[in-house]
Chains A and B, each alone.
Chain A
């Protein structure tokens, strides 16, 4: 067993049965949470690629350059903003449009040859606020003929699925965290009763509760890392394999790749540390509250 310091452990926790139980349970929990969180991030990444995240529903209104004087655009925006349920109205800048086209064509198009329409983005909290027939009718007066592109029905379905995935992920993570905390509390309570005589003696010779708690929390931190790191590494390897497989099979243009960003990988890699800190705090709180009830 690894020694933390030169000094001996006054409470001999290293030989407890928990020294194999905690790494196993925390290892499994970190493994699961890495996979769950990794999957959720990947799904969100795909959804981001389709621009379907968030709670907003969107429509894009296209006004032809010819009929769109600055004044017309400004009045149209005012009118749209006053419609019920609309949360945001903005003109899509030319740069933004050009960048999008550039991604398609691979080069910057000549603005002379390609007269861009004016695009207005509208966001609303519910799809009912974005009925294309109504919007077209209203804008008829100010801007003449316009075309309204509303999000297709399937995209709305995907959006609500993504929302559900996030919810389920959060729920699973909460359950995993609860199982971990309950296990640590249980293990710590067991250790407290195994070592009750030692603890009483330590108290008698002048040890503070916090001094005793440090021994338990260090052990808990150490054991959680012992299990958490391998569990995490294994899950990340699986994630790497899967993302590579999946992005290979969806090799179609315009479809976002199933992948994680560097920051997201790092985030996943930090999970064992998070688990270890949780285990440490759980052990400490358990010891302090239990000792507080002793004479």
Chain B
């Protein structure tokens, strides 16, 4: 269970970009995070993937207040969280294969198992022929799929996806969404930030509506 209590976030000494967030995400739940550009979706996700800590309020994840968690505890949490970043955050000097393999290698998974898993996933996202290609030589949609594969390969407890289908056609978008839904069915807590109004209709889940840094009740549309 993830719990926000009166959480606020500001970047450095800038203005507050998230205000008074009160939110509970049950384990195994699935949510969409929607709102206009600049509303704070990525910022909210960054709190969830522990890239930042709240500047005020209380955020509890995995039963612990993240403000008081030690560095090594945070590393442990991050290993249980998969993230598809809005701008992918792939390592440009590593091949698609090595990018996707990273989370498994970091926890010392057996190399044969790593290879099998990675190829399997790359195949699912339609990139099995591009395993050796580095991100700078890929299209936006290809990079996005590598990012998705890396996020899900560790079968995370929490999966956060920031506009994961933005660069994809409908067929491929649906394919990836099915992957997310499959993980969600197996207990992964899911939060997908998106501008795509088609997704909540096709794969129904509750919607969290952010506007100017506030969580609003109801859908924007």
Which A residues have a C-beta under 8 Å from some C-beta of B? 7-8, 10, 12, 197-198, 200-209, 211, 292, 295
- CB of B89 within 8 A of CB of A208, answer no
User: Is the CB–CB distance between A8 and B94 below 8 Å?
Assistant: yes
Q: Is A295 touching B52 in the complex (CB atoms < 8 A)?
A: yes
Q: In the complex, A209→B52 CA distance in Å?
A: 17
Contact of B150 with A205 in the complex, beta carbons under 8 Å: yes
Q: CB-CB < 8 A to A200: which residues of B?
A: 51, 89
Are the C-beta atoms of A197 and B89 separated by less than 8 Å? Answer: yes
Could you tell me the distance in whole angstroms from the C-beta of B43 to the nearest C-beta in chain A?
14
**Which residues of B have CB within 8 Å of A202?**
91, 102, 106
Contacts of A8 in B (CB 8 A): 93-95, 98
The 3 tightest CB contacts between A and B, nearest first, are A206-B79, A12-B93, A201-B89
Are B53 and A295 closer than 8 Å at their CB atoms? yes
Whether A10 lies near B102 (C-beta < 8 A) is yes
Total count of chain B residues near the partner, CB < 8 A: 24
Determine whether the beta carbon of B78 is less than 8 Å from that of A209. no
Known: A8-B98, A209-B71, A292-B71. A204 touches B91 (CB 8 A): no
| Contact of A205 with B102 at beta-carbon distance under 8 Å, contacts A10-B94, A197-B89, A198-B91 already known | yes
| Complex contact A203–B91 (CB within 8 A) | no
Q: Which of B71, B72, B78, B95 is A205 in contact with, Cβ under 8 Å? A: B78
A128 to B101 CA separation, bound complex (whole angstroms)? 77
Cβ B91 vs Cβ A10 within 8 A: yes
B residues less than 8 Å from A205 (CB atoms): 78-79, 102-103, 106, 150
8 contacting pairs across A/B (C-beta < 8 A): A201-B89, A202-B102, A203-B78, A204-B89, A206-B106, A209-B71, A209-B75, A295-B52
- A12-B93, A198-B91, A206-B75 given; A295·B106 CB < 8 A: no
Residues 55-74 of B, flagged 1 when their CB comes within 8 A of A and 0 if not, give 00000000000000001100
- Complex Cα distance A267/B42, Å? 58
Task: Judge if B180 is at the interface, Cβ distance under 8 Å.
Answer: no
In the assembled complex, the Cα of A203 lies from the Cα of B51 at a distance in Å of 9
B49 proximal to A (CB < 8 A): yes
Q: Is the beta-carbon distance between B51 and A295 smaller than 8 angstroms?
A: yes
State the Cβ distance, A6 to closest chain B Cβ, in Å: 9
**Nearest CB of A to B93, in Å:** 4
A191 to chain B, nearest CB (A): 14
Which residues of chain A have C-beta atoms less than 8 A from B52's C-beta?
295
In the bound complex, CA of A206 to CA of B107 (Å): 8
B77 to chain A, nearest CB (A): 9
| Interface hub of A8, A12, A209 (most chain B Cβ within 10 A) | A8
Specify which chain B residues have a CB less than 8 angstroms from the CB of A10 in the assembled complex: 91, 94, 102
B175 within 8 A of A: no
Minimum CB distance partner of A209 in chain B:
B71
Whether A206 pairs with B103 at a CB distance below 8 angstroms is yes
Shortest Cβ distance from residue B116 to the other chain A in the assembled complex, whole angstroms? 17
Name the distance in Å between B154's Cβ and chain A's nearest Cβ.
Answer: 8
- Say yes or no: A208-B75 contact (C-beta < 8 A), given A10-B91, A197-B89: yes
Q: Which residue of B lies closest to A291 (CB)?
A: B71
With A12-B93, A204-B51 given, name 4 new contacts (CB 8 A): A204-B89, A206-B103, A295-B51, A295-B53
Chain B positions 73 through 91: 1 when the CB is less than 8 Å from some CB of chain A, otherwise 0: 0010011000100000111
Q: Does B51 contact A207, Cβ atoms closer than 8 Å?
A: no
Contact A204–B83 (Cβ < 8 Å): yes
* C-alpha gap A209/B106 in the complex (Å): 12
Q: Are B94 and A207 in contact (CB under 8 A)?
A: no
Q: Which of A7, A12, A201 contacts B105 (CB 8 A)?
A: A7
Measured between C-beta atoms, what is the minimum distance from B40 to chain A in Å?
18
Question: Is the CB–CB distance between B72 and A208 below 8 Å?
Answer: yes
Question: Among the interface residues A200, A201, A202, A206, which one has the most CB atoms of the partner chain B within 10 A?
Answer: A206
Instruction: Indicate which residue in B71, B72, B78, B98 contacts A204 across the interface (CB closer than 8 Å).
Output: B78
B103: nearest chain-A partner, CB-CB: A205
Interchain CB contact under 8 A, A206 and B51? no
Interface bits B110-133 vs A (CB < 8 Å: 1, else 0): 000000000000000000000000
A207 to B51, CA, bound (A): 13
Complex CA–CA separation, A8 to B100 (angstroms)? 13
CA distance A12 to B98 in the complex (A): 13
Nearest chain A residue, comparing its CB with the CB of B154: A206
Bound complex: CA A8 to CA B92 (Å): 12
Complex: A219 Cα to B173 Cα, angstroms: 41
Residue of A nearest to B76 (CB): A206
> Could you tell me the distance in whole angstroms from the C-beta of B54 to the nearest C-beta in chain A?
11
